[in-house]
Amino acid sequence: MRAPAFAAALALASPALALEALVERRQAGMKDMDDAMKALGAVRIGVLPYSPALVSRAAGALEAGAEAMRLQFPPGSEGGKAAALLWEDRARFDAMTDDLAAAAARLAAAEGEAAALEAAERVAETCVACHEPFRRR
């Protein structure tokens, strides 16, 4: 992952700028996952046709997002819309990141439309489960 190295390099120039860049990066990562979920939602309501390629792309984006998240909330990066609780209850946050990664892996392995949509539901539950305590509205 390039995020920490990138942030570290920027931190030498300006800690405030580094934090801003990291927050922007993690928010962009969340938006990529949101796009993946929207594509799956479009399949669910019949706006997009089901295809294994679409599901595989979405699952890949979610797995990459979960992986990136492990590095994008280091100590001292309080900011954005993340709740302060995240840095106080780190173990719970990390466990929820693992839940997302596991659900994304099950989506990647799902065969057929019904199984994929079912797996997508489970992914969506992990988004909500973490946003509830750890994202400020």
Q: How far is the CB of 11 from ligand HEC (least distance, A)?
A: 17
Cα–Cα distance between 126 and 107 in angstroms, integer?
Answer: 13
Whichever of 9 and 84 has its CB closer to ligand HEC, that residue is 84
Q: How far is the CB of 50 from ligand HEC (least distance, A)?
A: 19
DSSP-based helix, strand, coil % in the chain, nearest 5? 80, 0, 20
| List of residues 6+ apart from 55 with CB closer than 8 A | 40, 43, 107, 108, 110, 116
Q: How far is the CB of 45 from ligand HEC (least distance, A)?
A: 17
- Contact residues for ligand HEC, defined by CB under 6 A: 23, 26-27, 30-31, 33-34, 37, 62, 80-82, 86, 93, 96-97, 100, 123, 126-127, 130-131, 134-135
Q: Measured at CB, which residue is nearest to ligand HEC?
A: 80
CA distance from start to end of the chain: 28
